[in-house]
Structure 1
Amino acid sequence: MTSATTPSPAARTRTAPRPGDRRWLLPELDRPSDLFRDLGPNWFTSVMGTGIVATAAATLPVHPAGLRTAATVVWALAALVLVGLAAAWAVHWLRHRDRARAHADHPVMAHFWGAPAMALMTVGAGALSLGEDWLGESLALWTDVVLWSAGTALGLVTAVWIPYRVITGHRVAADSAFAGWLMPVVPPMVSAATGPALLPHLPPGQGRLTLVLGCYAMFGVSLFASLVIIVQVWGRLVHHGIGPAAMVPTLWIVLGPLGQSVTAVNVLGSVAPLALSERQAAAADAFGFLYGVPTWGFAMVWMALAGALTVRSARRHLPFALTWWSFTFPVGTCVTGTSALATRLDSDALTWAAVALYGFLVLAWATVAVRTARGCLRGGLFLPAGRSTVGR
């Protein structure tokens, strides 16, 4: 992604290993410690993309042998990456505080402040659905409670704070709308989709009711904000084209609020009888179908459109960047949404669609993860965009 600050002279010239430089690790950096210099919140998309591969597997309507074990391993990897990134980001804030603060003022990077919140909740959801096998029921539950609570609080902050900063401080051109604007407003939808799993662990009464009402409210916060932004993105595409090739992968971010909203309404509908009256629970169940199927249909159309535009750009040149993680988490939400519909409607067609989408998700994740690991080992991904050899 683009850096929020002007790179140093060293960063501007250090785009390839120097002659005679025998370092095999981070050869594109002047000093290994430079990896902390421009570490933005967009790095947490790697946790989101890895975590959703695990949690989506747990929701599939089919359960082939070995899938749960493999998914648990991937979840553990996401948890390790989250811990490592959190530690690295702490160093970034301690050593490069001015650069860290500048991310919130950058017209692109600011929106990725939503990524840390979603990373926390994705790992938390995996702890409850998969990690119980390794952590035990109690520790898995409390891990999800802590991460969901922290992610929800941070997500509600970014849903207000980042749009406020954009409205009051950023100069936005008419053709600058891009799907990354969704990043700070999607976390409440992730809260709405993952929070219901905690409901059975609460005692009957006001606690359960408050959680259900809160999840529906956060569903609304994210849904309406996302609809406003998606309309702007569509208008930008029609009137100004797709823009720079490096930003094309962000078109897939639109699938995030769509797929996650389908997941949310159906998961909420399944737990509604634990907190609502019989009549209200029946309405919640019906809403999952009436909202979910049409929205799923639009998500599939958008996926086809984003896929066609991505292929078109790839034929010319699609440079690798952290934006490629947009091929993972948004698709993963479509997997969980499709799985939720397939389970509640007992649909064979949706079951096969969920399996097919999951296969695409795994392929996309493997590709992006390998490219990211390679860029990290060389150090190029830690440089500001345009200064590295990674995407060339």
Structure 2
Amino acid sequence: MASPVLTQPSPAPLAPASHPVPAAARPRRIHLGGLGPNFYAAVMGTGIVANGAAALPVALPGLTVFARAVWVLSCVLLVVLMAARAVHLTRHRAAARAQLLEQPATAVLYGCPPMALLAVGFGTLTVGAPLIGTGPAVAADLVLWSAGTLYALAVAAGIPALMITRHRVSVLRADPTWLLPVVAPLVAGALGPALVPHLPAGTPRAAMLYGCYALFGAGLLGVLAVLPVVFAGLVHSKLPALVLTPTLFLVLGPLGQSATAVNQLADAARPAVPGLGPSALHLAVLFGAPVLGFGVLWLLLAAGLNLRAWRAGMPFGMTWWAFTFPVGTMVTGAAGLARHTGFAGFTALAAGLFALLVAAWAVTGVRTVGALAGGRLLAG
């Protein structure tokens, strides 16, 4: 882009004209023109670590402190990124418009911002309430959930509409990023039930419960429509670049999130519509267990293919954040089944997946910071 928005502080003095500074030694500038909606994946991936830690059905020393620290970090990341995107949308309006209207590979990434809002809002209620108070936590989650849900619905309807009317795409080249817009309402349906006990009894609670069931259905059926297309595209055209291999983990997102949703809805049914409670609990187990079973199968497949790509020289990219949020939804889904069944196998599964999540988050976070510092993500 034409002009830098942010620069590194205290640049080194300029060398004399007769001794030009080597390119590698020049202070790098950060251009927010390259800041796309995919950067919200870092917020999603950080928020799910805190949420997974809070849901984990095992007591570990320091787990609560760790969850709160990561939640604070997710809040900071969200605020900073929202401010940076505001600058981007103001100063690079044409580029942002092209990202959405003309570039289908970028347009699908607009599914990330609403999920980031929803993840941080849920963490504020479940992790941050002891720090800021229950009242402020409920208010913050209600605002973030409402904004995230409206955003999710707009994306889930708008991006497919653009694919039909404007984008030049081929279903034979579909990849897992196509799932991002349609899965966003499913995330809203999974995280909204936590607000039910904090609403007035009667109609408000029932409305929220039924609304979350509707969001669950909108996201799930949307995923079921897109997922076969994605698999056909993978089989027919393969992934065009090694750096896209981590996106295979995105398939875990709707699997883990739907299992999380039915368990969260079962918890919310009791205070909202007591007569629905037993049926909701049965659905949580009978739906959640098979879906997580397929999730574990896909996890093994995706891990094997990523190991193959890593050996072939897979470079770092923001796609690596696909290692985090989808795995985190598997953690919360398994934790919900452990909570409702008492079965030790689900507890062990949640704990093992959480260990994998933390490792993936730590590695990806360090690599992201290094790439930003080295000017390889937002270079000027």
Alpha-carbon shift at residue 151 of structure 1 (Å): 0.4
Which residue of the partner structure matches residue 19 of structure 1? 22
1:95 aligns with 2:85: no
Residue pairs, 1:370-385, within 5 angstroms: 370-383=366-379
- Counterpart of 1:108 in structure 2 is 105
Residue 197 of structure 2 aligns with an amino acid whose one-letter code is P
Aligned to 1:341: 337
Amino acid at match of 2:371: G
Correspondence 1:192-203 to 2 at 5 A: 192-203=189-200
Counterpart-to-counterpart distance in 2, 1:40 and 1:373: 16
Aligned to 1:65, the other structure's residue is in SS state coil
Counterparts in 2 of 1:133 and 1:252: CA distance versus 1, 3 Å: same
Cα offset for 1:22? 3.9
Could you tell me whether the CA contact under 8 Å between 2:173 and 2:234 is conserved in 1?
no
Deviation string, structure 1 residues 247-273 (Cα, Å, up to 9, x no partner):
111110110111000000011012212
Distance 1:164 1:294 in 2: 32
Checking the alignment, whether the CA contact within 8 Å between 1:117 and 1:187 is kept in structure 2 is: yes
Amino acid at match of 2:39: W
**In terms of mean alpha carbon deviation, does 130-139 or 194-203 score higher?**
130-139
C-alpha distance 203-113 of structure 1, shift in aligned 2 (>3 A): same
Match for residue 176 of structure 1 among 167, 173, 176: 173
**Equivalent in 50, 53, 61 of residue 54 of structure 1:** 50
Superposition pairs of residues 283-302 of structure 1, within 5 angstroms: 283-302=279-298
1:233 — aligned with what? 230
For 2:265, the equivalent position in structure 1 comes to 268
Distance in 2 (alpha carbons) for counterparts of 1:237 and 1:153: 31
Q: Choose which of 131, 136, 141 in structure 2 pairs with 1:139.
A: 136
Matched, 1:148 2:151: no
1:361 maps to amino acid: L
Q: CA deviation at 1:21?
A: 5.8
Greater relative contact order: 1 or 2 (C-alpha under 8 angstroms, separation 6 or more)? Answer: 1
Shift of 1:243: 3.1
Deviations 1:29-59 (A, max 9, x none): xxx3x42112111110000000100010000
Structure 1 counterpart of 2:58, one-letter code: V
SS at match of 1:37: helix
Q: CA deviation at 1:324?
A: 0.5
Q: Where does structure 2 lack aligned partners over 5 or more consecutive residues? A: 5-19
After superposition, the C-alpha distances for 1:53-72 in whole angstroms (9 at most, x for unaligned) are: 00100000012121011111
1:248 matched to 2:245? The reply is yes
Aligned to 1:379, what secondary structure does the other structure show? Answer: coil
The one-letter amino acid of 2:45's match is G
- % identical aligned pairs: 45
Give the CA deviation at 1:277.
4.2
- 2:175–2:239: 8 Å Cα contact kept in structure 1? no
- Tell me the SS of whatever aligns to 2:170: coil
Contact 2:281 2:340 in 1 (8 A): no
Whole-angstrom CA distance in 2 between matches of 1:283 and 1:77: 38
Quickly say closer, same or farther: Cα 1:377–1:213, change in 2 above 3 A: same
The DSSP-based 3-state class of the residue aligned with 1:238 is helix
TM-score (norm 1): 0.89
Alpha-carbon distance in structure 2 between the residues aligned to 1:239 and 1:137: 51
Letter in 1 for 2:269: A
In structure 2, relative to structure 1, the CA distance for the partners of 1:18 and 1:106 (3 Å cut) is farther
1:242 Cα shift? 3.5
* Contact kept in structure 2, 1:35 and 1:379, CA below 8 Å: no
Instruction: In structure 1, give the amino acid aligned to 2:22.
Output: P
State how far apart, in whole Å, the 2-side matches of 1:312 and 1:18 are.
Answer: 40
1:321 equivalent in structure 2: 317
Give the one of 202, 208, 211 matched to 1:211.
Answer: 208
Q: TM-score, normalised by structure 2?
A: 0.92
Work out which of the residue numbers 73, 83, 98 in structure 1 matches 2:69.
Answer: 73
Conserved? CA contact 2:171–2:229, under 8 Å: no
- Work out the CA distance in 1 between the residues paired with 2:91 and 2:190: 36
**Contact 1:177/1:232 (8 A) holds in 2:** yes
Q: Is the alpha carbon distance of 1:130 and 1:21 closer, same or farther for their aligned partners in structure 2, counting shifts above 3 Å? A: same
Structure-2 residue corresponding to 1:39: 35
Instruction: Out of 235-244 and 326-335, give the one that drifted further.
Output: 235-244
Task: Describe the superposition over 1:217-276 as per-residue Cα deviations: whole angstroms up to 9, x where unpaired.
Answer: 110111011112211122122233333111111110110111000000011012212122
Name the CA distance, whole Å, in 2 between partners of 1:307 and 1:56: 20
Provide the aligned length of Structure 1 versus Structure 2.
363
Distance 2:157 2:312 in 1: 38
In structure 1, stretches of 5+ residues that fail to align are 1-6, 11-16
Equivalent of residue 257 in structure 1, options 251, 254, 262:
254
| Runs of 4+ with >3 A deviation | 20-24
